[in-house]
Amino acid sequence: MTSFTQYTDAKIIENILSGEIAQYEIFIRRNNPFLYKVGRSYNYNHEDTQDLMQESFIDAYKNLSKFENRSSFKSWIIKIMLNHCFRKKQKFSFKNEIVAEIMDSSEPMFKRSENDTYKMVANRELHCIIEKALGSVPFDYRMVFSLREMNGLNVSEIAKALEISEANVKVRLNRAKTMLRKEIEKSYSAEEIFEFNLIYCDAIVDHVMQTITEL
């Protein structure tokens, strides 16, 4: 399809609500990798993650008129994906931790590259190393790490998405980094971790677009 990389979220939403439904594909392609990382961080397998992604994109489309631009579409769709993951885990409950002292180490652990990494297929060996390492990290910490390091949300956005305090986000992030630092090579970029293979991206785009055009 035509490239609309210069279009803002607000402009794309305006166009979609005006009847240009085909432009919803832009949102799907932009956000596929982020939702995939969320699902995999929940330890869902590839197939279940794809199902949750499709459900999230369809729900977002149905509620697009309610999007208020108070956050980015990326943050909004990630929250929708999280809600689907929560329900699948039968409303996994987060417990707020009492924080006596907080070390502010909320800067990204990995330096992001400017390369178009979404066109790369994941390095399979690295994928296995990271997935195994993350699997050993408690869920609460793993999810914060995923949202910050893999999806690029800031502390405030993570706090709102998980409904915890910003202080709690920082604590969980610090603990996750401590657990992972020995097992992860610092030279790896965040985008390589759990990178969504574009072979599957097209399939999700096709399924979601077919579904919403039939609504």
Confidence at residue 90, expressed as pLDDT on a 0 to 100 scale: 61
- The rounded distance, in Å, linking the Cα atoms of 42 and 86 is 9
| Helix spans in the chain (H) | 9-17, 24-41, 46-62, 73-88, 124-135, 139-145, 155-162, 166-181, 198-213
Confidence at residue 92, expressed as pLDDT on a 0 to 100 scale: 46
- The rounded distance, in Å, linking the Cα atoms of 4 and 1 is 9
Report residue 156's pLDDT band, with 50, 70 and 90 as the boundaries. Answer: very high
Asked whether 12 and 4 are in contact (CB, 8 A), the reply is yes
116 Cβ neighbours under 8 A, 6+ residues apart = none
Confidence at residue 22, expressed as pLDDT on a 0 to 100 scale: 92
Percent of all residues in the chain with a pLDDT value above 90, rounded to a whole number: 34
* Average pLDDT value for residue range 191-213: 75
Asked whether 135 and 202 are in contact (CB, 8 A), the reply is no
Cα angle 31, 38, 213 (rounded to 5 degrees) comes to 40
Confidence at residue 58, expressed as pLDDT on a 0 to 100 scale: 96
Distances (CA, A) of 93 to 163, 184, 209: 11, 28, 33
Report residue 98's pLDDT band, with 50, 70 and 90 as the boundaries. Answer: very low
Domain ranges in the chain? 9-213
* Single-letter amino acid code for the residue at 75: S
> Above 60 in pLDDT, residue 153?
yes
- The rounded distance, in Å, linking the Cα atoms of 174 and 106 is 7
- Average pLDDT over the chain, rounded to an integer: 77
Confidence at residue 4, expressed as pLDDT on a 0 to 100 scale: 53
Confidence at residue 197, expressed as pLDDT on a 0 to 100 scale: 56
Token digits of residue 178: 């401590």
Counting Cβ atoms within 10 Å, is residue 171 exposed (0-12), middle (13-18) or buried (19+)? buried
| Nearest in space to 151 (alpha carbons), one of 28, 62, 54, 41 | 41
Confidence at residue 93, expressed as pLDDT on a 0 to 100 scale: 43
Residue positions counted in the chain: 215
pLDDT tens-digit readout, 15-49: 999 999 999 999 998 899 889 888 888 888 888 99
Least confident of 66-80, 107-121, 147-161: 107-121
pLDDT tens-digit readout, 157-176: 999 999 999 999 999 998 88
Percent of all residues in the chain with a pLDDT value above 70, rounded to a whole number: 69
* Average pLDDT value for residue range 49-72: 91
Token digits of residue 112: 């992001």
pLDDT tens-digit readout, 101-138: 333 445 555 444 444 443 343 445 455 666 677 777 88
Confidence at residue 113, expressed as pLDDT on a 0 to 100 scale: 46
Asked whether 97 and 171 are in contact (CB, 8 A), the reply is yes
What spatial distance separates the first Cα and last Cα of the chain, rounded to whole Å?
22
